[in-house]
A and B are shown apart, each in its own frame.
Chain A
Amino acid sequence: MAETVLMRNFSNPDSHTLDAYRAAGGYTAWDRALEMEPAAITEEVKKANLRGLGGAGFPTGAKWSFIPKNHTGPVYLVVNADEGEPGTFKDRYLLERDPHALIEGMLIAARAIRSDKGFIYIRGEYVQPWRRFSAAVKEAYDAGLLGRGFDVVVHRGAGAYICGEETGLLSSLEGKKGWPKIKPPFPAIKGAFGQPTIVNNVETLCCVPPIVTRGAEWFAGLGTKTQGGTRMYSVSGRVKKPAVYEAPVSITLRQLIELAGGVTGTGRLKAVVPGGGSAAILTANEIDVTMDVDGLKAAGSMIGSAGVMVMDESVSIPEALMVLARFYAHESCGQCTPCRESTGWIYKMVHRIVDGHGRKDDLDTILDVAKRGAGTTICAFYDGAVGPYISYIEKFRSEFEALIPHA
């Protein structure tokens, strides 16, 4: 198996403690970063081809460089630990098993963007990750790693999916309803509390210390031409060994399924969701695709949060879509009209089809409604919902039609 970078410390049962982290060479990247100019850190991260691992895959170094140079007020670093994408559970492991890696990543990122205050927004359901991370923050304060030019505020969410959208998260962090903000302005210009803010995913920041210690070239070399490093794939569903697997981003979906022990259930693969609930579904014939940002984009889906959900032939695609459609109807924040209204409408239609009361026009109506609403909203939530609506129906239309009387 290839080298583990992010999960390197997981085998140690005490990996969450400062002592264990230090013993494994922790915080040496921070020592090195302290000798680097902030701009040099950003440059290193750019060269490493690190791309956001929360969902959007945006180049991390480029994001950091958007902070206005002449800004005199505070700059904030916000960690998105509101891991809510269906099928995704990697950040949870990092928070529980290597919290100091994240703190070290935050320290280095904060230096790069000249921030003296960081926030971490942890999803409400993540109790143990919150405990572990809070304990690590206390250790870091006691050891003088935090509190000397950089402070960390731990904030818990209350269980809304939309608060994982970066500007929804900022609204919630500010004490408001977790509604995404209209862009422009982007958070790097006007983010948390009206100040320039960088929002990074947990896993993304955990990649930063190894980049600083071992160099951008090494990190870039682990991945593909356009994306460096390894990443953590949350593999679930009908595989023999569902778990989080770390692999270079150049791994193919077929290899990843094999890594997880292969397909269980009927043993015959029907479909795979490669990047969390919002990614378009792939059929069994479409799994020879590399699991990086651009590989899946080319395949008409997205890597998203790398939540891989495997479905064998016994899985009903219409029922799977109904579950997801209910999720989107329930989690739509209700701010923008197309998303607010059509997620509920589409759920009603899919539900009706699964119940055996589908009508002849329903499938075309769902496709039309989804396509018309796509790209018209403030945030990416609705586009994330449209991915499954369209792909499930277009790729498995006959399965839906079989449920519709007189179709």
Chain B
Amino acid sequence: MPKLTVNGKPIEVPAGTNLIDAARVAGFEVPHYCYHPGLSIAGQCRLCMVDIEKTPRPTIGCNTVATDGMVVNTETDRVRETRKSIMEFHLINHPLDCPVCDQAGECWLQIYYMKYGLYDPRMTDEKVHKPKAVPLGPHVILDAERCILCSRCVRFCDEITHTGELGIFQRGDHSEIGLFPGRELDNKYSANVVDICPVGALTDRDFRFQVRVWYLDTTKSICPGCARGCNIEVHVNRRRPHHAEGRRVARLKPRLNADVNRWWICDAGRYGFGFVDAADRLQMPVRQQGGTSADTTWDEAIAAMAAPLRRLPADEIGIIASPKMSNEDLFALRRIVDRLGIRHVAAQVPPRAPGDQDDFLIRADKNPNSLGAELMGLGGDARTVIEAAGARRLKFLWIFGHDLLAGALPERDVLEALRVVDTVVFTGSNANWTSAHSHWVLPAAAWVEREGTYTNFEGRVQRFRQAAEPLGQSLAEWQIVGRVLAALGEPSAATRAEHWFRELATTVPAFAGLTYQLIGDAGRPLAEAAARR
């Protein structure tokens, strides 16, 4: 491991580390545009100049590997002057349309100008004009005048998705990003180019013009879109509720996790949050009977559920949990199953068609917590429960989230089951056909409205945190289950998901030793998974 000094501070970095990353280790920022740790080195923006002792002039940090004994300075006068010049070059043809640009507030031209530029503009000639508001694909729109030609987006499509839709066309100051003829930027990861675009050239067609970024609050979370569990940030607009037609979740952004998703997420996950603020959200406990529907209270609903659960033999009770529930939800539910000795338990409703999968991030299993459900002993196929119900062997059926008709369960069996079971309870965040055909509908908070953990397909336990308030009277599933448990005579002291997790960690061997603190922001492999490695 080479030892070097940066601005007088001695550091040791892994072999092959470049000077931008080495300086970061030492606690110093080297401004840069084209360098991205997930992409090849381009060396084009020329901003990351550093001074290396015994070299005649500043050198780019991105393409210089730290070597033993190197003396690097990131703040010499000539480095500062060079940076200032490069900033001027970056900006002479830039339209400076920050007031109408979505990137404003998170734009690296703005940030670096204020930190390293602050020169008096000298460019008085007509700027170069280029195409504006060009849709590149379903999610991404280009303003070529704002582009600084760092080529990150081109390299992303070449090196990460291997789809090669984008290129740089023309020459000199007429150079512009564009699509190859006949192509569209429609790969499954296309919107990552918006994240890595350091300026306002590539913006998100879904997000743009919705809300200013400085009104957004950021929360660490996990994408619930598939079994990968990509680490994300949830950006919520609380401060300008009148913007974006009242939608609270403004966008999802990938969050770096070297062991899971690196810097990326797929488009399906990125745009999969619409249900959170959708019109079909369930907000009140509801009682439905004979075609009528009436709002009710949690107390009444819980009491109405507890009575049959207490009365009925365990064989007449069925539960279809969901692999979209958190480990804490499932563990709490497991308590009810164990207490009553319920055997008709499942979590998986098989999809009609297998989900798409690739060799990068996307998993065929579109649930974030199938492995968690399995480890909790709730992982079975719902078909057996539905068959038991259809055969009139069940009097009580509790369904979490699923629309039973949306999957591959035989339609006749599902219809029959919901027709003949005396008490059908639905718990979920959004209305669907199943909720419409249940006797009791209990509103669940969406994943961004609560906290918890998921266990991804590799056995990695990851935390998601609360980004917004639960809508209406909705509650996290562990809270709902906890209330039912209390009504059954087993009150829980858990007031937070973490309390359930503590019990889980002492009860389910695979989770032994895990705590929220250990899981942290980056997640932790299960003990079993760790032992297998």
Contacts and interface: CB of A to CB of B under 8 A. Distances in A.
A304 to B, nearest CB: 21
What is the interface residue range for chain B against chain A?
35 or more
A333 B42 CA distance: 14
Nearest to B60: A182
Interface stretch (B172-180, B301-309, B348-356): B172-180
Interface stretch (A9-17, A116-124, A342-350): A342-350
Nearest to B90: A337
Given A341-B89, A372-B82, A160 B123 contact: no
A343 B122 CA distance: 15
Contact of B93 (A162, A341, A361): A341
Nearest to A180: B43
B17 interface: no
Contacts of B519: none
Interface string A304-333: 000000000000000000000000011111
Interface in B186-202: none
Contacts of B425: none
A379 to B, nearest CB: 11
Nearest to A359: B124
A372 B172 contact: no
A348 to B, nearest CB: 4
**Most B CB within 10 A of own CB, among A331, A335, A359:** A335
A182 B43 contact: yes
B420 interface: no
A344 B86 contact: no
Contacts of A398: none
A194 interface: no
**Most B CB within 10 A of own CB, among A331, A336, A365, A372:** A336
B216 interface: no
A337 B171 contact: no
A251 B44 CA distance: 40
B86 A376 contact: yes
B173 A372 contact: no
A374 B250 CA distance: 44
A372 B173 CA distance: 18
B172 A334 contact: yes
B334 to A, nearest CB: 56
B40 to A, nearest CB: 10
Nearest to B126: A348
A333 B93 CA distance: 16
Interface in B28-57: 41-47, 49, 57
B168 interface: yes
A349 B124 CA distance: 9
A352 B125 CA distance: 9
**Most A CB within 10 A of own CB, among B85, B173, B175:** B173
B149 interface: yes
Which DSSP category, helix, strand, loop or mixed, fits chain A's interface? helix
Contacts of B49: 376
A297 interface: no
Contacts of A340: 89, 149, 172-173, 175
Interface in B75-113: 81-82, 85-86, 88-90, 92-93
Nearest to A338: B89
A373 B89 contact: yes
A177 interface: yes
B11 interface: no
A135 to B, nearest CB: 33
A356 to B, nearest CB: 15
A378 interface: yes
B82 A376 contact: yes
A333 B170 CA distance: 8
Given A345-B125, A348-B125, A332 B172 contact: yes
8 contacts: A177-B167, A184-B63, A333-B171, A333-B172, A334-B170, A334-B174, A338-B46, A376-B46
Interface of B: 41-47, 49, 57-58, 60, 63, 81-82, 85-86, 88-90, 92-93, 122-126, 128, 148-149, 167-168, 170-175
Given A373-B89, A375-B57, 16 more contacts: A182-B42, A331-B171, A334-B149, A334-B174, A337-B46, A337-B90, A340-B89, A340-B175, A341-B89, A341-B92, A341-B173, A343-B173, A345-B125, A376-B49, A376-B85, A378-B44
Interface of A: 160, 162, 177, 182, 184, 329-338, 340-345, 348-349, 352, 359, 361, 365, 369, 372-373, 375-378
